[in-house]
Amino acid sequence: MTEAAVLGFGTVGSGVVEVIDRNQAAIRVQFPEGIHVKYILDLRSFPDSPYADKVVHDINVIREDPEIRIVCETMGGMEPAFSFTKSFLEKGVSVCTSNKELVAAHGPELIALAKANRCSYLFEASVGGGIPLLRTIESSLVQERITAVYGILNGTTNYILTKMAREGADFDATLKEAQDKGYAERNPESDIEGHDTARKIAILTSLVSGSTFRYEDVYCEGITKITAADFKYAKTLGMSVKLLGVSRRDPETLEFHVLTAPFLVSCEHPLYSVNDVFNGVFIHGNMVDDLMLYGRGAGKYPTASAVVSDVIDCASHDGRWITRRWDPEVIEPGDRLSEVRRFFVRTDADSEEAARKAFPGLTVVTADGMEGEFAFVTDRVTEGEFEGKAAGLKLRNRIRFLN
Ligand SMILES: NC(=O)c1ccc[n+]([C@@H]2O[C@H](COP(=O)([O-])OP(=O)(O)OC[C@H]3O[C@@H](n4cnc5c(N)ncnc54)[C@H](OP(=O)(O)O)[C@@H]3O)[C@@H](O)[C@H]2O)c1
């Protein structure tokens, strides 16, 4: 038996303990010795849990037990998760985590520390929850030159946008309902402002590039300015609004252009059908062409399943470092203002003349009940050109087109 410990017995951590327990037979097919959870660290005790006897409150109990070979960090946040993780890697104990905040901030440093100590730092669950996304990029697509990765990476915002699209409701009311149902946190800022998606697309860009794309360098817009009116127009265009993380490699400069923002997605694009709390990620490789992964981006069992996939990987490679192509060298972001795309734009009615002058190739868009404003789609322009020309208009909103 390989002995493991789980740090944080919350949603994901309790799922990890259950998945290892309930799926032990499946785990033994890949790793016949089996995996056993010896300790659970948490601030609270869980007297009613069948795993109550494993709960400890002192990290040193786990640190000082030489039998522990793998630790699952499912506490979340920066500290003490960062210090705990370092202390285990320094001892040659592998760490598997769902903590995207820590991975986005210190991923390369922790991978290097694991390598120096002949153990592994794995984080499949940190992006796309239960979707086997990172392993696909790192193993199945290792031979590819990946030129684009983009998709829906946050279930909370996708749930809100799906409700707005279906019911014509406004953002604030939909957010409140999502909070009441437990789909959105009481403090939803990280989700609705796009920061969670930005962290995930930064992690994906780093793995695709093999270097570090800092999440602070991701241009980031959230969904708080999206209204029921935007969805009315989207419907007449045969489109929907989705919050996307987008990472594209310029074929000439080889720079990565990375942003998080709401996009209009055509009903012909597979991401259009990724609804509710589901995630969907599109990858374009130079040989494999397009592929898409779809699944639950969060939730107790899907996320725990991804953590346990890492646990099995670590158990099968005990004493060895599992390669993660993510060096500390920081890559500079490509110039966002040079990106070419179309924009959907809503302005006050009295901006029509100025809009027609600024964007002579525009296409007018109308929607029921939307009198008193002027809406249009631009020709393909750079972000820089758009910002310059739109500065003279009384803008109500503008949303990027995907492709
Ligand atoms: N939930 C999901 O679906 C999901 C999906 C993907 C990734 N993640 C990520 O996975 C991580 C965990 O998320 P979660 O939803 O499972 O969070 P959670 O339900 O809040 O669980 C965290 C657990 O860790 C415990 N904890 C916090 N600080 C601790 C400390 N210093 N010592 C011991 N225990 C401590 C907490 O105890 P208290 O409750 O007493 O504070 C809680 O039981 C986060 O990084 C999150 O972003 C979550």
pLDDT value, residue 182: 81
pLDDT tops 80 at residue 279? yes
pLDDT value, residue 193: 98
Alpha-carbon distances, residue 2 vs 28, 49, 66, 274, 319 (angstroms)? 11, 23, 11, 38, 12
Does residue 59 line the site of ligand 1, with CB under 6 A? no
For 56, the enclosing helix (H) or strand (E) is strand 55-56
Q: Report the residue count for the chain.
A: 403
Nearest CA to ligand 1 atom 25: 8
Tokens of 143: 């031979």
Give the largest CA-CA distance in the chain.
75
Which sequence positions are flagged as catalytic? Answer: 200
Does residue 57 line the site of ligand 1, with CB under 6 A? no
For 281, the enclosing helix (H) or strand (E) is strand 278-285
pLDDT value, residue 184: 85
**pLDDT tens digits for range 20-47:** 999 999 999 999 999 999 999 999 999 9
The closest alpha carbon to 127, from 325, 295, 315, 8, belongs to: 295
Q: Given the CA of residue 41, which atom of ligand 1 is nearest to it?
A: 33
pLDDT value, residue 236: 96
Distance 73 CA to ligand 1 centre (A): 9
Distance 40 CA to ligand 1 centre (A): 13
Give the model's confidence band at 86: pLDDT under 50 very low, under 70 low, under 90 confident, else very high. Answer: very high
Domain 2-130+300-316: homologous superfamily in CATH:
NAD(P)-binding Rossmann-like Domain (3.40.50.720)
Rounded to an integer, the average pLDDT of 226-233 is 97
**pLDDT tens digits for range 244-255:** 999 999 988 999
**Angle, CA of 230, 198 and 76, to the nearest 5°:** 120
Does residue 299 line the site of ligand 1, with CB under 6 A? yes
Does residue 105 contact residue 130 with C-beta atoms inside 8 Å?
no
pLDDT value, residue 321: 93
pLDDT tops 90 at residue 126? yes
Q: Given the CA of residue 300, which atom of ligand 1 is nearest to it?
A: 3
- DSSP bridge partners of 95: 71, 121
Please report which residue ranges of 97-188 form alpha helices under DSSP H.
100-116, 133-135, 155-167, 171-180
Q: Given the CA of residue 129, which atom of ligand 1 is nearest to it?
A: 6
The ranges assigned to domains in the chain are 2-130+300-316, 142-296, 337-401
The closest alpha carbon to 344, from 229, 188, 221, belongs to: 229
pLDDT tops 80 at residue 403? no
**pLDDT tens digits for range 291-342:** 999 999 999 999 999 999 999 999 999 999 998 999 999 999 999 999 999 9
Domain 337-401: homologous superfamily in CATH:
ACT-like. Chain A, domain 2 (3.30.70.1150)
Rounded to an integer, the average pLDDT of 158-166 is 96
Domain 142-296: homologous superfamily in CATH:
Dihydrodipicolinate Reductase; domain 2 (3.30.360.10)
Does residue 45 line the site of ligand 1, with CB under 6 A? no
Distance 13 CA to ligand 1 centre (A): 7
pLDDT value, residue 135: 96
Question: Against a cut of 0.85, is the pTM above it?
Answer: yes
pLDDT value, residue 186: 87
Q: What integer best gives the mean pLDDT of the chain?
A: 96
Nearest CA to ligand 1 atom 43: 10
Q: Given the CA of residue 196, which atom of ligand 1 is nearest to it?
A: 47
Distance 345 CA to ligand 1 centre (A): 40
Nearest CA to ligand 1 atom 27: 75
Bond preceding residue 108 cis, omega within 30 of 0: no
Nearest CA to ligand 1 atom 42: 10
- Percent of the chain past pLDDT 90, that is, above it, reads 96
Rounded to an integer, the average pLDDT of 37-62 is 98
